[in-house]
Amino acid sequence: MQMRHLLSTIIGKSVHCILEYCSNNVKRINYMGDWGMQFGMLIQFLREKYPDIGADDDGVEKETQNA
């Protein structure tokens, strides 16, 4: 989390308090940022660095298949 996420939360809370004080009905939603790009970059890095990762992984350990 970066400082700007906290800053937008503080500004949002301040605006909420002002509007509520002026008798407005306010619904608060706190959106903490979009992580899509960061995870997309991580997935792309893993695919380039380890191209065979997960290629033969079906979620079952090899030892349990032989039992």
What value does the CA radius of gyration of the chain take, rounded to a whole number of Å?
23
pTM tops 0.85, yes or no: no
> Which tens digits make up the pLDDT trace of 20-67?
999 999 888 876 666 778 888 888 898 899 888 766 655 555 554 555
Residue reference for tokens 């380039």: 48
CB 32 within 8 A of CB 48: no
